[in-house]
Amino acid sequence: MSIDAKGVEKLAQLARLDISEKDIAATTRSIGEVLKLVDQLQQLDTRQIEPLSHPLDAKQRLRADRVTETNQRDAFEALAPLCEDGLYLVPRVIE
Amino acid sequence: MHNKTLREISNDLASGLYSSEEITGELLARCERLNGALNAFISITPELALAQARQADARRAKGDAAALTGVPMAHKDIFCTQGIRTSAGSHMLDNFISPYDATVVERLKADGMVCLGKTNMDEFAMGSSNETSWYGPVHNPWKKGAVPGGSSGGSAAAVAARMVPATTGTDTGGSIRQPASLCGITGLKPTYGRVSRWGMVAFASSLDQAGPMARTAEDCALLLQSMAGFDERDSTCMDYSVEDYLAALEQPLAGLRIGLPREYFNHGLDPAMGALLQAAADLLQAQGATLHEVSLPHADLAISTYYIIAPAECSTNLSRYDGVRYGYRCKDPANLMDLYCRSRSEAFGDEVKRRILVGTYVLSAGFYDAYYRQAQKARRLINNDFASAFEAVDLILCPSALGAAFDMGSKTANPVDMYKEDLYTIPVNLAGLPALTAPCGFINGMPAGLQLVAPHFAEARLLQVAHQYQQLTDWHLARPDMRIWGESS
CB contact under 8 A, A58 and B99: no
Task: Tell me the three state secondary structure of residue B394.
Answer: coil
pLDDT exceeds cutoff 90 at A19: yes
Which residues in chain B are contacts of A8 at CB distance < 8 A?
Answer: 357
What is the number of alpha carbons within 13 Å of residue B170 lying toward its C-beta?
Answer: 36
Q: Are B221 and B246 in contact (CB under 8 A)?
A: yes
CB contact under 8 A, B348 and A91: no
- Report the alpha-carbon distance of residue B78 to residue B170 in Å, rounded: 8
Band of residue A69 on the pLDDT scale cut at 50, 70, 90: confident
- Report the alpha-carbon distance of residue B211 to residue B224 in Å, rounded: 7
Q: Which of B10, B19, B20, B76 is catalytic?
A: B76
Which residues in chain A are contacts of B457 at CB distance < 8 A?
Answer: none
* Alpha-carbon distances of B473 from B85, B216, B252, B468, rounded to whole Å: 40, 11, 16, 9
* Alpha-carbon distances of B461 from B246, B291, B385, B395, B450, rounded to whole Å: 11, 16, 20, 8, 15
B260 CB neighbour count, 10 Å cutoff:
17
Task: Locate the chain B residue with the closest alpha carbon to A14.
Answer: B360
CB contact under 8 A, A79 and B232: no
- Report the alpha-carbon distance of residue B399 to residue B425 in Å, rounded: 8
Strand partners, B189: B435
CB contact under 8 A, A14 and B193: no
B108 CB neighbour count, 10 Å cutoff:
25
Length of chain A: 95
B91: DSSP letter: G
pLDDT exceeds cutoff 90 at A59: no
pLDDT at B409: 96
Which residues in chain B are contacts of A76 at CB distance < 8 A?
Answer: 99, 325-326
Across A69-73, average pLDDT: 88
DSSP B222-234: HHHHHHBS--TTS
CB contact under 8 A, B326 and A80: yes
Which residues in chain A are contacts of B97 at CB distance < 8 A?
Answer: 79
**Full pLDDT tens readout for chain B, 489 residues:** 999 999 999 999 999 999 999 999 999 999 999 999 999 999 999 999 999 999 999 999 999 999 999 999 999 999 999 999 999 999 999 999 999 999 999 999 999 999 999 999 999 999 999 999 999 999 999 999 999 999 999 999 999 999 999 999 999 999 999 999 999 999 999 999 999 999 999 999 999 999 999 999 999 999 999 999 999 999 999 999 999 999 999 999 999 999 999 999 987 899 999 999 999 999 999 999 999 999 999 999 999 999 999 999 999 999 999 999 999 999 999 999 999 999 999 999 999 999 999 999 999 988 999 999 999 999 999 999 999 999 999 999 999 999 999 999 999 999 999 999 999 999 999 999 999 999 999 999 999 999 999 999 999 999 999 999 999 999 999 999 999 999 987
- Report the alpha-carbon distance of residue B150 to residue B157 in Å, rounded: 10
Task: Tell me the three state secondary structure of residue A57.
Answer: coil
ipTM of the complex: 0.96
Task: Tell me the three state secondary structure of residue A5.
Answer: helix
pLDDT exceeds cutoff 80 at A90: yes
**CA torsion, points B478, B481, B486, B488, in degrees to nearest 10?**
70
What is the number of alpha carbons within 13 Å of residue B287 lying toward its C-beta?
Answer: 21
What is the number of alpha carbons within 13 Å of residue B198 lying toward its C-beta?
Answer: 21
Q: Which residues, in sequence order, are CB contacts of B110 under 8 Å at separation 6+?
A: B226
Considering only residues 235 to 264 of chain B, which have any Cβ-Cβ distance to chain A shorter than 8 Å?
Answer: 235-236, 238
Q: Which of A15, A63, A91 has the CB atom closest to B357's CB atom?
A: A15
- Report the alpha-carbon distance of residue B455 to residue B98 in Å, rounded: 35
Q: Which residues, in sequence order, are CB contacts of B404 under 8 Å at separation 6+?
A: B182, B442, B443, B444, B446, B447, B448
Distance of CA B212 to the CA centre of its chain: 7
pLDDT exceeds cutoff 70 at A1: no
Task: Locate the chain A residue with the closest alpha carbon to B331.
Answer: A81
CB contact under 8 A, A58 and B193: yes
User: Mutation test of the interface with chain B: which of A6, A41, A88, A93, choosing the one with the most B Cβ atoms within 10 A?
Assistant: A41
pTM comes to: 0.97
- Report the alpha-carbon distance of residue B464 to residue B78 in Å, rounded: 28
